[in-house]
Structure 1
Amino acid sequence: MNRERKAPDVVIRRLPLYLRALELIDHNESPIISSEQMAQIIGTSAGQVRKDLSYFGVFGKQGVGYQTLALRDELRRILKLDREIRVGLIGVGNLGEALVRYHQKSPVHRPLQIVALFDTDPKKIGRKIAEVEVFPLEDLEKRIAEFKIKLMILTFPAVNVQEVVDLCVKNGVKAFLNFIPASIKVPFGVKLHTSDVTLELQSLAYYT
């Protein structure tokens, strides 16, 4: 399963859906899963499942399918979820706090560990949200190094965003999940995913 080739971002973003489907299956009852079963669970086609997995050298047996446990473990490896990944969050407002609480309660949140929160409000510094401490934003550089943070969630007001992101990148952050309605640039080799609730709602309005 090591004959990998570069996969498009849209394929990478579907892999967690496949992994979630596999984690919901009792492998004792279903030791083998077909591409048709996977497709039905996540709402795509069997051909799409096979094509996506083939990017990573993952091929099921024709007429049989995939070994459930082996495929689950392989997807974890591909997504680098076979090791702990330390996550930080900047902006402990309503959205930031809700994200932390939701993530910490999720039964599948490990190995993605939120280890540090950052804010500029003195009243929030030192608080713990779902057992995760809030640090002053001015300590960002020091805490990234201390906690070995590789992924950062951005939920703070759109002020000095690029400066903050640049500082994170400089200190080793490799990926960002951004909820800020702002234009952000990251260098090659660093990944940025932006989620704008307003834009999502506007696109859904078309179907109403």
Structure 2
Amino acid sequence: MKTKEISKSTLQRLPAYLNYLKTLSPRETPNISATALAAVLGLGEVQVRKDLASVSLSAGKPKTGYSVCSLIKEIEEYLGYNNIKDAVIIGAGKMGTALLNYSGFAQYGFNIVAAFDINVTEDGGEKGKKIFPLSKFGNLCKRLNIKIGIITAPASAAQEVCDLMVANNILAVWNFAPIHLNVPEHILLHNENMAVSLAILSKHLKENLKKSKKHL
């Protein structure tokens, strides 16, 4: 399928479509309409049609809708979920270890092969996922041609860790450390800022509580 350029907001909605479609039984629900998807996910019907048109080769048919199986395949192909992508973690604390052992990434074509930590002196880990000394990072990345790095190290060490990843040909960095990182222009950096997420949740909750009090 030819890749189309889509907006960031559309890209963020695609996993929601995919997750819902995968809950449907192909035998019981072989097709689904944009109207039905919009209703279930609380989105506008026009928006859903535009989103699906950006990744689907065929438009939904009147009274029939989209083939669920075909739509799943097309969204997975667009997002790259059908191609396993290997990644490594630097920072084997509680968060790093939890991500390392999380099996759910596989359904998104994502595979964390190992973690590294400065405090590890010998190979360790469980469930087949190893935790290595940081000194082995460069060799493993080169040997396995790793291009995705995840940072769960403390904020004080995050920039140094990021620089190490860039120096070892990592092209995409998923950063969980609560700090701004500087990367070259060709590096894709995504910050998973939990403080921002909590601030949004808190503000939303505060506004809802105010509205509730007004109705009392």
Query: TM range, normalised to the smaller chain?
Result: 0.7 to 0.9
Q: Match of 2:166? A: 169
Q: Match of 1:30? A: 29
2:22 alignment partner AA = E
The structure with the largest alpha-carbon Rg is 2
Q: Match of 1:135? A: 132
Rounded Cα–Cα distance in structure 1 between residues aligned with 2:82 and 2:49: 22
DSSP 3-state at the match of 2:153:
coil
More helix by share: 2
Give the drift of 1:175: 2.1
Distance change in 2, residues 1:143/1:59 (3 Å): same
DSSP 3-state at the match of 2:88:
strand
TM-score (normalizing by structure 1): 0.85
C-alpha contact (below 8 Å) 1:153/1:178 kept by paired residues: yes
1:36 alignment partner AA = T
1:162 alignment partner AA = Q
Give the drift of 1:162: 2.8
2:45 alignment partner AA = A
Unaligned runs of 5+ in 2: 207-216
- Structure with higher RCO (Cα < 8 A, 6+ apart): 1
Aligned residues: 204
Q: Match of 1:86? A: 86
1:113 alignment partner AA = N
CA-to-aligned-CA distance 1:156-205 (integer Å, 9 cap, x gap): 11234233323323433232221111111333443222122222212222
Q: Match of 2:193? A: 196
2:123 alignment partner AA = G
1:19 alignment partner AA = L
Distance change in 2, residues 1:17/1:205 (3 Å): same
Unaligned runs of 5+ in 1: none
Mapping for residues 29-178 of structure 1, pairs under 5 Å: 29-56=28-55, 58-63=57-62, 64-101=64-101, 103-104=102-103, 106=104, 108-109=106-107, 111-122=109-120, 125-178=122-175
C-alpha contact (below 8 Å) 2:53/2:59 kept by paired residues: no
Give the drift of 1:138: 2.3
Rounded Cα–Cα distance in structure 2 between residues aligned with 1:187 and 1:6: 23
CA-to-aligned-CA distance 1:121-171 (integer Å, 9 cap, x gap): 136x41113321011122222111222322222111123423332332343
TM-score (normalizing by structure 2): 0.83
